[in-house]
Amino acid sequence: MPYTITLPISAAAHHPHPHLHRVLHANLYAWFAAADSALADDLHHQPVRKPFTLSPLTRHDGTIHVLRVALLDDALWEPFRAGLAARPFVDLQGDTIPLALADLEMCHRSYAELLEGASTGTRIALRFLTPTCFRAGDLDSPLPEPRSMVRSWLSRWSQYAPAPLRINVALVDVAIVHVAVSGYNLHTRVTDMGYGKQMGFVGRVTLRVVKARKLGEEILRQLNALADYAEFCGTGRKTTHGMGQTRRIRRER
C-alpha cells in the first residue's frame, strides 16, 4: 500500500552538502533505525528494488525545502512515523535542521485502489523531475523507451503488491508492440551521486497506446495503473537516491 510523505525542512540547507543524495539516504535509514534497528539493517542489506524511493531536497514557496519519501510496503509506515517522532530532524553531516512535523503531508493509496481507479485511456503524459535512466547491459541508457518504463514499474509492483493483484509480466511485451512515444520535451542532466556521476533525462514524455482495441480494457487499465504507480515507485535506476522522480500529468493544454 504505497505512501508518500512530504517533509518540510525549515530554512534548509542554503549550502547543501555536495553529496546530498547519500546524506539524505543515510537519514532515511536513521529514521527507521530510531524505531527498529533490525528493520533498518534488513532494508540496508536488501540488494535491489528496495521498498522506498527518495527525492532530493526541493525548494517550496521560496522559503523552505521539502523532502519527499515514498514507501512501497504498507508495513513501513508505522516504524517510519515512530522514527520521525524519535528523531525529528535531518542531519546534513553536522548541520542539524528540525523537521516541521506539524506540516507533514501524507498520501496513501492501496494497490487495489490504484488498479481499480485506473483509467482505460490511451494517452499517458509523464514529467520526469530528476535524471532518469535504465540499465542496458553494462551501460546506462538515458532514453525514454516505453518498454523500459513499463518493466521498471512492473518489477516494483510485482514485488510489493498483494499476490491477487499481481500483473502478468507479459505486459512488457505488450508495451513493445503497442506503446510508443508520441511527444517529448527532454534534456539530459548529470548528477553527482557522491560515488560517481550519473546521467539521465529530465522533462516531459507522452506515451500513446496504439491499436488499443486489440488489447481490451483490462490491459489498458493495467498500463494506466502502473503509470499512476510511478509517482510512488519512481522510474529506472537509483530511485532510492533521488533519481527517476516521476509525476503523471493529468491534464495538459
Write the CB contacts of 252 (distance below 8 Å, at least 6 apart in sequence). 125
Average pLDDT taken over every residue of the chain:
87
125 strand-pairing partners: 206
Candidates 231, 150, 146; CA nearest to 158 is: 150
15 pLDDT band, cuts 50/70/90, is: very low
Q: What is the rounded distance in angstroms from the CA atom of residue 73 to the CA atom of residue 188? A: 31
Q: What is the rounded distance in angstroms from the CA atom of residue 63 to the CA atom of residue 70? A: 23
Asked if residue 10 has pLDDT above 80, the reply is: no
The reported pLDDT for the residue numbered 61 is 59
Candidates 137, 132, 166; CA nearest to 152 is: 132
The reported pLDDT for the residue numbered 246 is 95
Range list of H helices, the chain:
20-35, 37-45, 77-86, 111-116, 146-160, 171-178, 217-233
Angular region, 230: left φ>0, alpha ψ -120 to 50, beta rest: alpha
| Structural domains present in the chain | 3-108 (3.30.70.1890), 111-248 (3.30.70.1900)
64 pLDDT band, cuts 50/70/90, is: low
Asked if residue 188 has pLDDT above 80, the reply is: yes
CB atoms near residue 78 (< 10 Å)? 11
| 65-93 tens-digit pLDDT | 778 999 998 889 999 999 999 999 988 77
Asked if residue 17 has pLDDT above 70, the reply is: no
- Comparing 110 with 194, the larger pLDDT belongs to 110
Write out the three cell numbers for 228: 499512476
| 106-122 tens-digit pLDDT | 999 999 999 999 999 99
The reported pLDDT for the residue numbered 71 is 95
With 0-12 CB in 10 A as exposed, 13-18 as middle and 19+ as buried, what is 3? buried
Cα R_g (the chain), whole angstroms: 18
The reported pLDDT for the residue numbered 150 is 95
Asked if residue 60 has pLDDT above 80, the reply is: no
Strand, coil or helix: what is 74? helix
The reported pLDDT for the residue numbered 145 is 94
| 155-171 tens-digit pLDDT | 999 999 999 999 999 99
The reported pLDDT for the residue numbered 93 is 75
134 pLDDT band, cuts 50/70/90, is: very high
